[in-house]
């Protein structure tokens, strides 16, 4: 039984490592194989959903204001769902101070969740808009983000673009655990970009996720079955055979949440739902075509849905052996799994497994479509 435990843990760690090494060696160095054009300047609408973002919304708007993109081609829509902390007033105020910005505030009378709010906002966008971008209020872009993202859309095969991401507290990147997070992030960023070079990545991030508007209309708006506005629509688009990519020439910053644990669990819940339901959804829409994205999807599906449980099984066997048979081998093996927790990257990996496991269980009774803030 100890042997079985070692085998399960071995598979748990070896598969993602092998996949990462392979993707990084074989796919990451490839060219994009898409036409990138710096002069391509379509109409863009940036949509910021807000619920009680009074503390961040002004910084967010100031940050968008600094984008190097022609103002007349760039509109901001803030869609607020009955915030109780004066978010809407702050947006109106900011708008008055910046009459040179094309800013629209949409207010929902009651809160129904982020995706319903986004779908409501989509109804207010004219069809001649080429690209829409969702961005969470607690995320920040470098000044060239928009330009860099948009240039990939010059190729009609590209239908979704997201960016690299790092996490930071308001005080910056000083604290140690954040650096640990960011080591882990670079693993993810590399992997997502590698997948994107081959075809597309199934995991996009809400700090900046851009879509060719036509495609969002084609899939009838943002689906509401997962609660996320990034990975799910991007994956549906990839299943259409179009590219849904993460680019590495832009890195956005996301603020660490006060309650990071619950947030991670909720996001893992949404991501799991995405892996469980999106492919079927794409097939039902009748838009699914076979592509190299299928391979990526299968592997990531395994890594999110199955792989965490190998670790649970392994640990359960060892604990069982230790408790019922007093196995010294089991004790040593558990120790061997715990010691590397001193390494940030390992710790971050284990935490991600914990999030996924809690998420899977939690999905049985709540999908967290409307989360507390
Ligand atoms: P996290 O980044 O995954 O922790 O999620 P957030 O709580 O930051 O939410 C992402 C974005 O959606 C933020 O800009 C929120 O203000 C916004 N948001 C969350 N819930 C709602 C909602 O019910 N309605 C609207 N309009 N926006 C929401
Ligand atoms: Mn957020």
Are 32 and 135 in the same domain? yes
Residue 242 lies in a domain: yes
Given 242, 263, 296, the domain boundary residue is: 296
In a domain, 111, yes or no: yes
Domain count, the chain: 2
Residue 369 located in a structural domain: no
In a domain, 367, yes or no: no
The answer on 236 and 161 residing in a single domain is yes
280 and 316 in a single domain? The answer is: no
End of a domain among 260, 278, 296? 296
Which of 265, 296, 327 is the last residue before a domain boundary? Answer: 296
Parent domain of 331: 2-23+303-362
The answer to whether residue 291 is domain-embedded is: yes
Quote the mean pLDDT of the chain. 94
Residues 16 and 163 in one domain: no
At 263-314, the pLDDT tens digits run 999 999 999 999 999 999 999 999 999 999 999 999 999 999 999 999 999 9
Ligand 1 contact, 238 CB (< 6 A): no
- In this structure, the answer to whether residues 338 and 206 fall within a common structural domain is no
* Domain match, 45 and 18 both: no
The length of the chain is 373
Residues 145 and 57 in one domain: yes
Residues 153 and 257 in one domain: yes
Q: Give me 373's structure tokens.
A: 């803030």
Closest-CA residue, ligand 1 atom 21, reads 114
Which is the closest atom of ligand 1 to the Cα of 263? Answer: 4
Q: In what order do the strands lie in the sheet with 209-212?
A: 102-108, 74-81, 44-50, 131-134, 209-212, 158-168, 243-255, 139-140
Query: At CB < 8 A and 24+ separation, what contacts does 111-116 make?
Result: 111/51, 111/81, 111/82, 111/370, 112/81, 112/370, 113/81, 113/224, 113/227, 113/369, 113/370, 114/49, 114/51, 114/81, 114/227, 114/229, 115/222, 115/223, 115/224, 115/227, 115/228, 115/229, 115/369, 116/224
Q: Are residues 326 and 184 in the same domain?
A: no
At 194 the pLDDT is 98
Q: Decide whether any atom of ligand 1 lies within 6 Å of the 121 Cβ.
A: no
Tokens found for residue 263: 């947030």
In a 3-state reduction of DSSP, which class is residue 218? helix
Q: Is residue 370 part of a domain?
A: no
Question: Which numbered ligand comes closest to the C-alpha of 120?
Answer: 1
Q: Which of 54, 110, 114, 270 to mutate to test the pocket of ligand 1 (most atoms within 8 A of CB)?
A: 114
Q: What are phi and psi of 275, to 5 degrees?
A: -65, -30
Nearest to 354 by CA among 265, 236, 291: 265
Distance CA 29, CA 194 (A): 8
| 219 in any annotated domain | yes
Place of tokens 């993460």: 246
Q: Which tokens is 340 given?
A: 């590397």
Question: Do residue 63 and residue 156 come from a single domain?
Answer: yes
Q: 372 lies in a domain?
A: no
Atom of ligand 1 nearest to the CA of 111: 23
Same domain? 308 vs 232: no
280 close to ligand 1 (CB < 6 Angstrom): no
- The model's pLDDT over 104-121, given as tens digits with 9 standing for 90+, comes to 999 999 999 999 999 999
Q: Are 132 and 213 in contact (CB under 8 A)?
A: yes
Burial-class residue 364 by CB neighbours within 10 Å (0-12, 13-18, 19+): exposed
Provide the CATH number for the domain around residue 270.
Answer: 3.90.550.10
Q: How confident is the model at residue 180 (pLDDT cuts 50, 70, 90)?
A: low
Q: Do both 166 and 248 map to the same domain?
A: yes
Lowest mean pLDDT across 68-77, 87-96, 183-192: 183-192
Report pTM: 0.95
Res 176 pLDDT > 80: no
> What angle, rounded to 10 degrees, do the helices at 176-198 and 344-362 form?
70
């Amino acid at each position: 039984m100890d042997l079985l435990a070692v085998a399960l843990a071995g598979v748990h760690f070896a598969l993602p490592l092998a996949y990462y090494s392979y993707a990084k060696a074989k796919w990451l160095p490839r060219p994009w194989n898409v036409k990138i054009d710096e002069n391509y300047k379509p109409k863009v609408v940036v949509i910021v959903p807000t619920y009680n973002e009074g503390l961040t919304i002004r910084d967010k708007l100031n940050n968008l204001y600094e984008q190097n993109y022609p103002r007349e081609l760039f509109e901001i829509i803030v869609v607020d769902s009955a915030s109780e902390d004066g978010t809407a007033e702050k947006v109106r105020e900011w708008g008055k101070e910046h009459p040179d910005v094309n800013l629209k505030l949409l207010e929902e009378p009651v809160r129904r969740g982020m995706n319903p709010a986004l779908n409501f906002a989509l109804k207010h966008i004219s069809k001649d808009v080429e690209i829409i971008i969702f961005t969470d209020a607690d995320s920040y872009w470098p000044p060239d983000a928009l330009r860099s993202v948009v240039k990939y859309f010059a190729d009609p095969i590209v239908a979704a673009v997201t960016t690299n991401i790092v996490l930071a507290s308001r005080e910056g990147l000083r604290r140690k655990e954040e650096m640990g997070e960011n080591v882990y992030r670079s693993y993810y960023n590399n992997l997502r970009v590698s997948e994107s070079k081959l075809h597309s990545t199934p995991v996009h991030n809400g700090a900046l996720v851009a879509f060719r508007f036509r495609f969002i209309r084609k899939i009838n708006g943002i689906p509401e079955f997962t609660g996320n506005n990034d990975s799910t629509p991007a994956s549906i688009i990839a299943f259409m055979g179009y590219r849904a990519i993460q680019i590495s020439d832009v890195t956005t910053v996301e603020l660490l949440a006060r309650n990071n644990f619950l947030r991670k669990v909720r996001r893992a819940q949404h991501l799991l739902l995405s892996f469980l339901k999106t492919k079927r959804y794409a097939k039902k829409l009748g838009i699914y075509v076979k592509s190299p994205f299928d391979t990526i999807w299968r592997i990531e599906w395994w890594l999110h849905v199955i792989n965490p449980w190998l670790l649970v099984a392994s640990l359960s066997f060892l604990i069982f052996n230790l408790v019922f048979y007093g196995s010294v081998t089991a004790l040593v093996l558990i120790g061997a799994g715990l010691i590397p927790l001193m390494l940030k990257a390992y710790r971050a990996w284990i935490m991600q497994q914990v999030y996924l496991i809690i998420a899977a269980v939690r999905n049985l009774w709540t999908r967290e479509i409307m989360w507390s803030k």
